[in-house]
Amino acid sequence: MVRQGYLAERWASDGALRGREPFVPVDWDTALDLAADALRHAIETGGNESIYAGSYGWASAGRFHHAQGQLKRFLNLVGGYVHSRTSYSAGAAEIIVPHILGMPFFSLMRQAPTVEDIAAHTDLVVCFGGIAMKNTQVMDGGLGAHTAEDQLRALANTDTHFVNVSPLKDDMADFVGADWWPCRPNSDVALMLGLAHTIHSENLHDAAFLATYCVGFERFLPYLTGESDGQPKDAEWASALADIPAEDIRVLARRMASGRTLLGISWSLQRAEHGEQSYWMITLLAAMLGQFGLPGGGVAYGYGSVHNIGFAGRRQPNFHIAAMDQGKPPVNRYIPVSRIAEMLENPGGAYDYNGKRLTYPDIDVILWAGGNPYHHHQDLNRLRKAWSKPGTIIVSEPWWTATARHADIVLPCSTALERNDFAAGSNDTYITPMRQAVKPFGNARSDFEIFSALAERFDKGDEFTESKNEMQWVEHLYEQTRQRADSAGVELPEFAEFWDGEQIDMREQLDEQRFALEKFRDDPEKNPLRTPSGKIELFSETIAAFDYDDCRGHPMWFDKQEWLGSERAQRFPLHLVSNQPKTRLHSQLDNGRTSRDAKVSGREIVRINPEDAAVRKISEGDIVRLFNDRGACLAAAVLTECIRPGVVELPTGAWFDPDGESLEIHGNPNVLTRDAGTSKLAQGPSAHSCLIDIEKFTGHLPDITVFSQPATQEA
User: Angle formed by the axes of helices 246-258 and 188-201, to 10°?
Assistant: 60
Judge whether 152 and 115 are in contact, CB under 8 Å: yes
* 283: nearest Cα among 225, 213, 227, 385: 213
Is the dihedral angle over the CA atoms 197, 203, 204, 205 positive or is it negative? positive
d(CA 391, CA 5): 12
- The beta-carbon contacts of 148-153 under 8 Å, at least 24 apart in sequence, are 148/307, 148/311, 149/173, 151/115, 151/311, 152/115, 152/176
Q: Is residue 650 within 8 Å of residue 667, measured between CB atoms?
A: yes
447: left (phi over 0), alpha (psi -120 to 50) or beta: alpha
Residue 42 — φ and ψ, nearest 5°? -65, -45
Task: State the sign of the Cα–Cα–Cα–Cα dihedral 396, 323, 77, 683.
Answer: positive
Q: Residue 637 carries which side chain, given as an amino acid letter?
A: A
Q: Of 309, 269, 264, give the one whose Cα is nearest residue 92.
A: 269
According to DSSP, the residues that pair with 168 across neighbouring strands are: 643
User: Which phi-psi region, left, alpha or beta, contains residue 543 (left: φ > 0; alpha: ψ -120 to 50)?
Assistant: alpha
β-strands 647-649, 632-639 pairing? unpaired
Chain centroid to Cα 656, Å, comes to 19
The C-alpha atoms of residue 354 and residue 341 are separated, in whole angstroms, by 19
How far is 372 from 382, CA to CA, in rounded Å? 16
Would you tell me the crossing angle of helices 447-456 and 67-77 to the nearest 10 degrees? Answer: 10
The residue among 125, 91, 151 whose CA lies nearest residue 307 is 151
DSSP H/E element including 568 = none
Distance CA 529, CA 519 (A): 10
List the helix and strand counts (H, then E) for the chain.
Answer: 26, 28
CB atoms within 10 A of CB 661: 9
Report how far residue 703's alpha carbon sits from residue 551's, in angstroms, rounded to the nearest whole number: 46
Residues 374 and 402: their CA atoms lie apart, in Å, by 6
H or E element that contains 506: none
Distance, in Å, from the CA atom of 322 to the CA atom of 191, rounded to the nearest integer, reads: 44
Residue 703 burial (C-beta neighbours within 10 Å; 0-12, 13-18, 19+) = exposed
3-state DSSP percent of the chain in helix, strand and coil, to 5: 35, 15, 45
Report DSSP letters for 546-567, one per residue. H-BTTB-SS------SSSTTSG
Which phi and psi angles does 135 have, rounded to 5°?
-75, -20
| DSSP single-letter state for residue 643 | B
Instruction: DSSP letter for 497, please.
Output: H
Which residues are identified as catalytic? Answer: 56, 58
